[in-house]
Chain A
């Protein structure tokens, strides 16, 4: 009998939880519902212009090619190709095998230790180092930083007043600088060799300054905090996005805390051992998504809330100054009592955990908040945080520099900072006016480069010698792997030159000697042997920061007036893609959707729904969708529908934001969970535009600051930001413009509506759902799976399971050594995009540009879904009532991210519909894709219930999609073959062409590589045995099986929270089997009797579930439900941990 499974209807009874991903879905817009039924929203057919173009160019081409065919037939001969070996073999290089080097990516908040994969001299992929004391994963910025090395718009020539010059002239220019009247402006990261050289220069009279646009004020210069999440069971985060844009501490340790200390899945999570996170923040961050309790407050009020909590804990902190009205405003629909309960119960919980408490503060918050955190940590004697001294105390601020320039004490400024002061520093004009000579070292020709007298191209960190301190202060070494043929100079080399030395001569860099000297001094180990060992490991042990007492001082809690429609608070936020603007030309980051807003290629302001309604923005958002396609269609017929532009037609209304006489125009998005009467504007965009947009700097073609990537990308919010209020400002006014801006959002794409996809449980007992254990037991039965019948197949693959007949028993999934599987733990997944970009780097995935993304044609193999959920009605007696939950519950939803890639179904719907067998199953359970066989019918994508397949609508790898209209020009379009980014490509993965389907392969190139490496062991085994090879047998399960947990796929390796497990389901010791078990029919079929199978099978975690289980695809990738650990005494605890849709 055919089973009909309809879309689940919104629940009539049971828990009335709505889960939504966008305004469109929340409001149930018709266009959104239409999109659901489509394979690629709006982008699956060519639009009229494209159709016209392709038809015309097709006929044109046909004519041309048949004419040419006659000419070329005569030369129809295989072209001669060559093998060009080295003249002299370089040491270690084996053609076809990668080489790994330990190195480090320097950055504020702690350098990231890395293992760099190089192929025949080219760095290809960055992996996190595993044996470094601060080893964690990497984030999207780290993964994408390799693209900057090969960026075609990288600065390549030395410029003197904007004209190409050479190194000899530069040397002369630098030597002529009077050091005693020179200021050096460094970045804010910590590099011991730089500190030492800078100190030497300061001894000669140079002024030292540190500047980056968004590093914050901190506690005090030269004092920093080091946090240890492994010692924290209760964490209070005050506006700190420590898992995202504002890295603090080690994400992997934090995630271990979320797993109750057991990240290896040895047992089910123990609620008492799980850490709890309280988050006080303005806009939703990915850290806020991980929080158990989240309080939305305007940025200026974070200090006041912190003071409330501190005084509840008995710390000596001045009164917060929050009155009852202020408190009630934070809980719309509630009262001051809720706020008081939130604060007092939070404080009680922290007090109970005592020394296992950790309070951390975001870098954008002022000094007072850092002081309050220190006070709380001190009162509770927290073991999880320590204050340490850094060498950064020797650097002054830009304000100091301004004073010295004004007084004439400084005449020359050397900018070595990765920020772009002309663009991002308010007050550069004053400096430039008085300065005699400005030297700029940078990897891009940014605004400062063109404003400077000298611009020196900087070396990328993958091509320079250097060192950096990781989060806990461990000395980490940076070593070069390549020298791009540019006239570039590294920062240390420039310092050596300023110090009287010389530039690098050929392969020899004076910086290496300096780094070696620092290494010997800090590690206490001199000599070449220790140095080589250090380079091999990438760090020097026992070099962490020394503890220091936190600086004492009076705390002044900054007071602010209550925000309102006339007093909007503005947050100048760090952008997840471009940081402070430095990554504007990085295509991978630009195309990676923002973890929360899912916006690509642009920035947009965010406001809460309540604020949007109060300001009239909401109506504009709803009104954006055109009522009908034709002018004459009846407007009244459609008037009742609340339309929101989606997909290709997604638009955001323009608003003006003004503070005093500063004003900018930006598009605005509705952001759920945002604090009311506050607006968040990400910085770093709008650096160049040629389409006349407001609030972006017009492109100067003679002095370009960006390449194709950064052009027409977003809006510049720096003009709104003054040096008095660098991180947030109050008193802003918002005006409507009536115009709108086309935005490329990925959130509506590939939607799976209404199913229990991302599942969640709570450690609290929930009404109608039972306690934690019962909830875990019921994870597999959430949603439609609660009453879908057991999956059976009429087409049982060959015979019965326990058949004795081998020929009958054997299914196609037959390999007895490896059966691959993956589990993604939503409990630790933060949605940070690291996997998405790592996958892009590993698998040669092209970028497609803003227009194509808007049409739903992005090529990312991993789609990072993000769901919001909140309870809309209260639950009584296990059933939902008619009583709506208070506004403050509905306005403060939970956020659950869910990465979805191809789940490698055992019974894959895509395989059965492929007319050319281009996608078939392998013996090891992979759904493989033979690109060269694919003819591009797209049936497979049509039939994929997970919408995990991607189609190359154009030759994105060969044609530059960022030039307007280029893709539609066919062979006449501009190619990008031979450009430097191709050097990054993975030689073990096919570069796909136009008209080919692609999708996640479980990094099959890595799996095959690991298996082949294992096969090579046979020879070793024979040699070790000392017998003829014919006498040495090979046990498949022992000798040919890849060692437990040794093969890692790209997303898994990059994941900072170890949320992705991957491995061999036939290996009972592997992490993957512990996580998801191995109870699959395909595996059971390999055993001869039920008894053998029972002895072998492993159940795995109860939180494990399959996506869309009821369609019987039997996926190999499964998910583990998220666990919320709310404090039962908090006002919102009853509403948490229920993100899953229930259809009872």
Chain B
């Protein structure tokens, strides 16, 4: 009886199996990488209704984070400024700029900053600005800004160099493993309370400038020692148990 399958077909099942395996492995590998917050979230840079430039406001104008994010030291929530906070300056600065159209809508004024009226001449209600959320923790996570800022963790640790961003993007993954990394080794991030909102902080420079002494009255020069010193000195023991963040 003649062979139905040619000779080259002998290895075909194996080839198919190897190919399928490779495809499967590729899918798994791809998902494990691209499915994580590190790949999904880092770099998320949506277009905002107003192209607000942090670099300009912080580095050129010298504004503090807390001028706009005013309650961040007091509340769990780091508030996005209300429209009238922007308006404090922008009723005088950049009048009529097309970039500020959304702000003028919120304040219900036209390009000349005169109250907006509808066709019947009645005053129009302002429309609040809809900022696109960049850093989003899931519903079951209860992160508290004030707990971190008041214990020497800077904005920078989680949000990256926001002060240099012309258009804000997510710099860190904000995954649970990433949170725990710091909770297990806070000394890598803790800094003096005065420097929490100084995003140009450099521990080495700080230690050169300031005479900080450890428990044995020895001057600290190494940033790592400095971190460990602060953690011990301030009694920092971050919790790792579930209910710290999940309630």
Contacts and interface: CB of A to CB of B under 8 A. Distances in A.
Interface of A: 78, 80-89, 94-97, 815, 920-924, 926, 928-933, 988-991, 1001, 1004-1005, 1008, 1012, 1015-1016, 1018-1019, 1022, 1028-1030, 1033-1036, 1039-1040
Given A1028-B210, A1033-B234, A82 B74 contact: no
B46 interface: yes
B146 interface: yes
12 contacts: A84-B129, A89-B85, A96-B77, A97-B74, A920-B241, A932-B140, A991-B139, A1008-B244, A1016-B74, A1016-B150, A1029-B193, A1034-B233
Interface stretch (B19-27, B59-67, B93-101, B130-138): B130-138
A619 B246 CA distance: 53
Contacts of A1008: 142, 144, 243-244, 247
- By CB atoms of chain A within 10 A, which of B77, B139, B241 has the most? B241
Contact of B81 (A85, A933, A1019): A85
B235 A89 contact: no
Q: How large is the interface on B (under 10, 10 to 19, 20 to 34, 35 or more residues)?
A: 35 or more
Interface string B202-235: 0000000010100000000000000000100111
B82 A1019 contact: no
Nearest to A80: B132
A1035 B235 contact: yes
Contacts of A84: 128-131
A922 B193 CA distance: 28
- By CB atoms of chain B within 10 A, which of A1028, A1030, A1033 has the most? A1030
A1033 B233 contact: yes
B243 A1018 contact: no
A85 B243 contact: no
Interface in B49-69: none
B175 interface: no
Contact of B247 (A989, A1022, A1030): A989
Given A84-B129, A96-B75, A1019 B150 contact: yes
The 9 closest A-B pairs by CB, nearest first: A96-B77, A928-B243, A1029-B193, A922-B241, A1036-B235, A96-B75, A930-B242, A96-B76, A1012-B147
Given A86-B128, A920-B241, A922-B242, A94 B83 contact: no
A94 B243 contact: no
Contacts of B142: 988, 1005, 1008
Nearest to B142: A988
A232 to B, nearest CB: 43
Given A80-B132, A1015-B150, A86 B82 contact: yes
Contacts of A1028: 192, 194, 210
Contacts, number: 155
- By CB atoms of chain A within 10 A, which of B74, B132, B147, B243 has the most? B243
- By CB atoms of chain B within 10 A, which of A86, A1001, A1022 has the most? A86
B115 interface: no
B151 interface: yes
A147 B144 CA distance: 29
A88 B83 contact: yes
Nearest to A77: B40
B239 A922 contact: yes
Contacts of B198: none
A1012 B238 CA distance: 12
B239 A923 contact: yes
A87 B82 contact: yes
Contact of A97 (B75, B85, B126, B239): B75
B194 A1029 contact: yes
A1018 B234 contact: yes
Contacts of B230: 1030
Contact of B192 (A815, A924, A1030): A1030
A659 B202 CA distance: 89
A1019 B239 contact: no
B106 A87 contact: yes
A841 B237 CA distance: 32
B182 interface: no
Contacts of B79: 85, 94-96
Given A82-B133, A1015-B146, A1018-B151, 5 more contacts: A920-B241, A930-B243, A932-B246, A991-B139, A1004-B247
Nearest to B236: A1034
Contacts of B40: 78
B46 A1034 contact: no
A988 B141 CA distance: 9
Contacts of B73: 1016, 1019
A928 B106 CA distance: 44
Contacts of B210: 1028, 1030
A1004 B237 CA distance: 18
A214 to B, nearest CB: 41
Contacts of A1036: 235, 237
